Each structure stands twice: as C-alpha cells, then as structure tokens.
Chain A
Amino acid sequence: MKHAVVVENLDKTFSVRQSASTASIFNLVKAFSEKQKVIEALQGLNFKVKEGEIFGVIGRNGSGKSTLLHLLMGSIKADKGSTIKTKGKLMRLALGMGTDDNLTARENIYVNGSVIGLSFKRIGELFEEIIQFAGLENFVDTQVKFFSKGMKQRLLFAIAMNAEADIFLLDEFFGGVGDEDFKKKSDQAFNEKILEGRTIIIVSHSMAIISKHCKRVLWLEKGKVKMLGKTKEVIEAYKNSFNGKPKKKK
C-alpha cells in the first residue's frame, strides 16, 4: 500500500528570546546576541499514513499536535535532518479560521475555492450547492462579519466539503457542527464527502471522535511519540495515564 504521508526523524525546535520586546530596532544587537531559550517541540517523530487512511493524533495540551500539523502543511520549517513527504494537496481545517470577515459569503467561497485550486468554472458549478448546504441563501452578498458564529461555521464547513484536497488535516474540526438540524446534515456530509476516499489526519481531544473514525492513533507526549498503534489500545493507555495522576491545572 502506498503512503500519503511519511515522517522520518522529525525534529522541531523553537528558539525563543527571553526578553519581551525583542523585535525592535532599538534592541537589535541585544536581541541577537542574547542567549535564546530553546524549546524542543517535537523530537524524533517517525510515522507513516497510508493513502485513504484516517489517522488520529492525540495528546495533552502542549504536546506538539498543532506544531505537527503546521509542519505537515509546510507553514513552518522542520529542523535539519527531518523528512516529511506528503503526496498531493493538503488543506488544514480548523473552525473559526479560514474566512475573511470583510468579504461576503460569495467572495469567501471564490477566494477559498481558487486558493485551494478550483477553477472559477468549477466554483461556479458548486456555488449553489455550497450556499444551499450552508443555508445561507439570503446572505450570499452579506459580509461575513455580520454572520453569527453558527453561520460562519456552516459556510466554512460547506466550502471545505467541496475542497479538492488529497490530504485533510482536521484540527478539532468535525461534522456535527451548528444546531441540531445542521448537525445531522453536516455529520452525514462529513462522512460522505470529507472522510471517504481521502487521507485524513485528525487532531482531537475528543476520544469519541477519534475512536469513531480512526483505526490507528499516534499519542504525542512532550513532543515525543509515546505510543503508536491501534486506536483502542492507544486510547486506553492514554486514558489510564490520567488515572492516579490528576490533571495539572494550567
């Protein structure tokens, strides 16, 4: 079986300057000569995701899940010696992100659609479907800033559903958003349109979602792979790790 994502020896360190207002012309010399604090966000990650697989990533806050998604997207650079191979086009979906408030629903559909690589012709064909699905027929030319949170969610969800990406990175983004009516609709669409036939990496704190969709799960702990294997086993071990050790208050 072919792999859609191959990650080998993935390291990521962030260099953080200690003093608060470093990035200023007035303390340039100081900022660059100052010893930087090094944070090892990810260390020695190895995993492969098969084409068409739904792969879960779990872990506590700060364990490196989001950093991993950014690295896969290529929006930040990995350390030297790391290998990340991805096949096809990637798109990250996270609720509350991805629309421009000052644009109308129509414009957002066109901008997002064309950025993801759809032709205007194709967007035109999908347009009615997207608007209808999101239930925004009366707000096509309204700026998104006047939308409620639910409306924004629906719009983004409807656009994402039609995105022609090969690999989706879902950052706490699932079907079943919005009110009851839309929840049902979106859940079904999510299963049919996003999950089917695509390679998906799901990052979530919801074990219900992970166990529902994923066959294999990667558990990250302090930037390292704590466990990688079958969903049931990993989730059980993950849950056990909380027992006897109360959650740290942050």
Chain B
Amino acid sequence: MKVLNKLFGSFYNAFFSSIRIERIWKLAEVDFKKRYYNDKLGLLWALINPLIQISIYYLVFVLIIKYDKVENYALFLFSGILIWMTFTESSKKGIMLIKNKRYLIENIQFNKLDLFYSQTISIFIGFIFNICAYVALSYIMGIPLGLNALYFPILIINLFFICLGAALILSVIQIYLKDIIHIWNLFLLLGFWTSGIFFRGQAFIELFPPILYINPFIGLIINSRKVMLDNEPPDFMMLAYNMVFGIVVCIIGAFLFNRNWQKAIENF
C-alpha cells in the first residue's frame, strides 16, 4: 500500500501544485482508502467483486441458458459490468454525499463541488484497478489488447463526465425527495438490463433506435468492446454524442447543485 501511496504521490507532485488540486486529491485519497483499506482484503475487493459477479452471470448465461451468440462472453460481460458498476457506485454515493460530508460543508468555506470531483476521482481509481483485472484476464484468455485500446482513455473520460453529472443531479434531487434512492435503484435495474451488458447493444438499437440517444451506456459499452475486445476503432459519431451528453449532464448538475446545496443544510 505504501508503494501505491508513493506512486500516486509522485504522480501528483509532478503534475499539480495548487492548494485546490491538493484538496481534491486528498479527499479522493481518503475516500478511496476508506473503501478499501479498512478490511483485510483491502484493494483485492476491487478485483474480487467484479470477478465474482462475472462468474455468476457467466454461469447463468453460458451454462444454464446456453447463450452462445457472443464470442469471448466472459470478457464481453466483464467490460460491460465494469462500466455499469462504476456508474452505479458513483450515482449512489452522489445521493449520500452531502450527508456524509456535512461535517465539512457546514463548518468550512470552500467550493463544495470539490467534494464531487474528489468522490468521482476516488471511484475511478477503483475503476482503473478493475481495468487492470480485465486486461490480465484478456491476456490469460489469449486475446491481448490491440492498438485501438489507446482510445479507451477517451471513453473513461466520457464515463467520468456522465458519473460526475449524475452524482450532482441526484444529490440535488435528494434534497427534495428523500426516498430517491429507492426509485434510483429501480432505475439502475432497468439500466442494467437495457445497456447491452449481457447482449449486444446493437440488438437494442435495432429494436428501438432512439434508445441509443436516451441511454448513453449502450454506445459507451459498444465502443468499449470495440476498442478493448475487437481491436477496432470506436464509432466516432456515437463517441461524440456521448461526450456531449456527458458534458451537458455535468453542466446541468453543477448549475443545479450550486443553486440548491444550501437547501440541503436547511432541510436536514
């Protein structure tokens, strides 16, 4: 763990120096540690959790249902689930963020958006560990990454925007609707089955073309598989649309949050 600290520390020292960046980084770091370092397996959970999930779904789809329309189904599942898990986690934590960080919000003056940046960063540090697991598995299965995998960081940035924006918007909704978490869970369940995690996203698009624009994860997951699994360049139109979608969600989220966060303290 100390090695990781050093690694991140030196990365940080090399690129940033302002106090605000330090703050965002520190909050992200402690958030990450709180999630993984408090138990014995620690960071291994970031690897074990998705692997177990994938094993279960693999068991159900390949061995029981005998779904055989997709090659390399384990990796196919893995890539979809990783992206979805990251979104699930950041949106759910976004709902709780004001409550969890109230001790800072109430007592110290600073830009409250930093809390969201740092939380999303901390979730994405976990995501990067997950990706390492994916890459390892893909080598084990004899499907190494190709050059097109270099596009993947763009998709990660895209996902980051969507996650950040969703967290911001949900935190605002939570101020007015305390039971949003229950509704959001149902929403996530719907998204889980309609984002092309288990089946090819193309099947959903053929069935109902506008879904590509309503649910950005279909495009995001299709593109991720193209670059990571099939070694093809991404669909650039889809990528551009999703990027705009992510940025717009972020801007709306930040706007709503800045206008409403004080209500959260009032309504507690």
Kindly state the separation between the CA atoms of A76 and B267 in the bound complex, as whole angstroms: 10
Q: Is B49 an interface residue (CB 8 A)?
A: no
Kindly state the separation between the CA atoms of A91 and B38 in the bound complex, as whole angstroms: 30
Residue from A23, A89, A112 having most chain B Cβ neighbours under 10 A: A23
Kindly state the separation between the CA atoms of A112 and B263 in the bound complex, as whole angstroms: 23
Q: Is A114 an interface residue (CB 8 A)?
A: yes
Contact with A along B71-112 (1 / 0, CB 8 A): 000000000000000000000000000000001111111100
Contact B110 A115 (CB under 8 A): yes
User: What is the CB-to-nearest-CB distance from B87 to chain A, in angstroms, rounded to a whole number?
Assistant: 22
Q: Is B22 an interface residue (CB 8 A)?
A: yes
Contact B178 A23 (CB under 8 A): yes
Contact A119 B107 (CB under 8 A): no
User: What is the CB-to-nearest-CB distance from A77 to chain B, in angstroms, rounded to a whole number?
Assistant: 5
Q: Is B183 an interface residue (CB 8 A)?
A: yes
Kindly state the separation between the CA atoms of A120 and B183 in the bound complex, as whole angstroms: 41
Contact A70 B34 (CB under 8 A): no
Closest to B175 in A: A23
Across the interface, which residues of B come within 8 angstroms of A90, CB to CB? 109
Q: Which of A76, A97, A100, A117 is close to B110, meaning CB atoms less than 8 Å apart?
A: A117
User: What is the CB-to-nearest-CB distance from A219 to chain B, in angstroms, rounded to a whole number?
Assistant: 25
Across the interface, which residues of A come within 8 angstroms of B8, CB to CB? none
For chain A, which range describes its interface: under 10, 10 to 19, 20 to 34, or 35 or more residues?
20 to 34
Q: Which of B27, B30, B107, B267 is close to A73, meaning CB atoms less than 8 Å apart?
A: B107
User: What is the CB-to-nearest-CB distance from B111 to chain A, in angstroms, rounded to a whole number?
Assistant: 10
Q: Contacts A76-B262, A110-B26; is A25 near B177 (CB within 8 Å)?
A: yes
Across the interface, which residues of B come within 8 angstroms of A111, CB to CB? 26-27, 30, 104
Across the interface, which residues of A come within 8 angstroms of B38, CB to CB? 102
Closest to B180 in A: A25
Kindly state the separation between the CA atoms of A28 and B180 in the bound complex, as whole angstroms: 12
CB-CB contacts below 8 Å: A80-98 with B: 89-94, 97-98
Q: Is B136 an interface residue (CB 8 A)?
A: no
Q: Is A199 an interface residue (CB 8 A)?
A: no
CB-CB contacts below 8 Å: B161-206 with A: 176-180, 183
Q: Is A103 an interface residue (CB 8 A)?
A: yes
Kindly state the separation between the CA atoms of A77 and B264 in the bound complex, as whole angstroms: 11
Chain B contact residues, majority secondary structure: helix
Contact B266 A76 (CB under 8 A): yes
Contact B30 A24 (CB under 8 A): no
Contact B106 A25 (CB under 8 A): no
Q: Is A51 an interface residue (CB 8 A)?
A: no
Contact B105 A75 (CB under 8 A): yes
Across the interface, which residues of A come within 8 angstroms of B266, CB to CB? 14, 76
Q: Is B41 an interface residue (CB 8 A)?
A: no
Across the interface, which residues of A come within 8 angstroms of B34, CB to CB? 102-103
Contact B22 A25 (CB under 8 A): no
Q: Contacts A25-B177, A100-B103, A102-B34; is A70 near B108 (CB within 8 Å)?
A: no
Kindly state the separation between the CA atoms of A212 and B110 in the bound complex, as whole angstroms: 32
Q: Is B265 an interface residue (CB 8 A)?
A: yes
Kindly state the separation between the CA atoms of A70 and B109 in the bound complex, as whole angstroms: 11
Q: Is A99 an interface residue (CB 8 A)?
A: yes
Across the interface, which residues of B come within 8 angstroms of A44, CB to CB? none
Kindly state the separation between the CA atoms of A90 and B183 in the bound complex, as whole angstroms: 38
User: What is the CB-to-nearest-CB distance from A199 to chain B, in angstroms, rounded to a whole number?
Assistant: 14
Kindly state the separation between the CA atoms of A112 and B26 in the bound complex, as whole angstroms: 10
Kindly state the separation between the CA atoms of A194 and B129 in the bound complex, as whole angstroms: 44
Interface residues of A (CB under 8 A from B): 14, 23-25, 28, 70, 73-77, 89-94, 97-100, 102-103, 107, 110-112, 114-120
A24-B177, A111-B26 given; name 19 further pairs at CB < 8 Å.
A14-B266, A23-B178, A73-B106, A74-B262, A75-B265, A76-B265, A76-B266, A89-B109, A92-B107, A94-B107, A97-B106, A98-B107, A98-B108, A100-B103, A103-B30, A110-B30, A115-B27, A115-B108, A115-B110
Q: Mind listing 12 A-B residue pairs with CB under 8 Å? A: A23-B179, A24-B177, A92-B107, A98-B103, A98-B108, A100-B30, A111-B27, A111-B30, A114-B23, A117-B110, A119-B22, A120-B22
Interface residues of B (CB under 8 A from A): 19, 22-23, 26-27, 30, 33-34, 38, 103-110, 176-180, 183, 262-263, 265-267
